[in-house]
Structure 1
Amino acid sequence: MADQFQSNSMEDLFDSSLCLEDNHMKQGFEEGYEAGIMSGREDARHLGLKHGFETGELLGFYNGCSSVWNSALQLHPARFSSQVQKQLKEFQVLIDDYPLLDPEDENIDKIKDDLRVKFNMICASLGVSKKNIEYRGYPKTSSALEF
């Protein structure tokens, strides 16, 4: 009986030694998987913030241009053709209808393209040089600090 107990414990010892590598691989995989999930979430969060900020900047730029043009339209409506007035209204509607609270909306890319096209049409109709009004993004801190 003692021999059988000793042989069973020896087999258990060898079995655990043989499974040691598998156990470590499984444990390492689980730890790596969890670390990857956390890292992926953090990377996705940073990418989402960057993309959201860029979209907000662009929409703010378009909204600012629309506000200036609509203010000029209210002051001097006769200076704007009916076609430009229609384009300005459509441009503002596109800005207002942008799905800010639904980033997974399937129409976002189409709306952005429509905004860009409408902006270019308005600039061309008004004779505005895009070089003077083109959005260039937020200034970099290094260039903002230069005197």
Structure 2
Amino acid sequence: MAAADEPDAFETIVMAEARFHCEGYQEGYVEGMHAGTIEGRLYGIQQGAKISLEVGLYLGFSMMWLRLLQKHSDDKHGKKVKVLESLIEMIQKFPYQDPTYDRLQEDLEKIRGRFKQVCSLLHVSSDFRLSQEETALSF
């Protein structure tokens, strides 16, 4: 006869499947959380790099045009210079170091809109490609 403290051998066999199922679920959950964290970080790095490349392109473009227009300054370039300075200011205020910035997409859309406005004023195409297949930028 079995003692009251010992588990019943039959119950242990019957409950083994449920116990292994729970243990496997817990191990899988922990492993999935770890893999998801790594994948999320890599995706965030890639997206951050794309945004930085895009905003950096806008800044370089704007600074170059600003210098060109300031060299040949006259009254007809006044509006172009103001819009370029506005775009540069927006880019400089962009919060690169804050990954939790809640208005990142809104501010990025404003910068894109201002860039298109600059391109329109300068009579330059705003069509460009930032992909690995097409390394050249076309303006």
TM-score range, shorter chain: 0.7 to 0.9
Instruction: From the CA coordinates, give the structure whose radius of gyration is larger.
Output: 1
Q: CA distance change for structure 1 residues 8 and 120 in 2, over 3 Å: closer, same or farther?
A: closer
* Cα displacement (A) at 1:140: 3.2
Relative contact order, higher structure (CA 8 A, sep 6+): 1
Pair 1:137-2:130 in alignment: yes
TM-score normalised to the size of structure 2?
A: 0.85
User: Superposition pairs for residues 76-91 of structure 1, below 5 Å?
Assistant: 76-78=72-74, 80-91=76-87
1:54 to 36, 50, 72: 50
TM-score normalised to the size of structure 1?
A: 0.81
Calculate the aligned-residue CA RMSD, in Å. 2.3
Runs of 4+ aligned structure 1 residues displaced above 6 Å come to none
User: Deviation per CA, 1:73-121, whole angstroms, max 9, x where unpaired?
Assistant: 2211217532212111110011101110112212211111111111111
Instruction: Note if contact 2:94-2:107 (Cα within 8 Å) is conserved in structure 1.
Output: yes
**Letter matched to residue 120 of structure 1:** K
User: Superposition pairs for residues 1-147 of structure 1, below 5 Å?
Assistant: 3=1, 5=3, 12-78=8-74, 80-130=76-126, 134-140=127-133
* Cα displacement (A) at 1:20: 0.6
Structure number with higher helix proportion: 1
* Cα displacement (A) at 1:4: 5.3
Separation of aligned partners in 2, 1:15 and 1:119:
71
Separation of aligned partners in 2, 1:53 and 1:79:
38
Separation of aligned partners in 1, 2:5 and 2:58:
78
Q: Which runs of 5+ in 1 are unaligned?
A: none
Instruction: Note if contact 2:69-2:77 (Cα within 8 Å) is conserved in structure 1.
Output: no
Q: Which runs of 5+ in 2 are unaligned?
A: none
* Cα displacement (A) at 1:67: 1.4
Q: CA distance change for structure 1 residues 26 and 139 in 2, over 3 Å: closer, same or farther?
A: closer
Q: CA distance change for structure 1 residues 18 and 35 in 2, over 3 Å: closer, same or farther?
A: same
Q: Tell me how many residue pairs correspond in the alignment.
A: 136
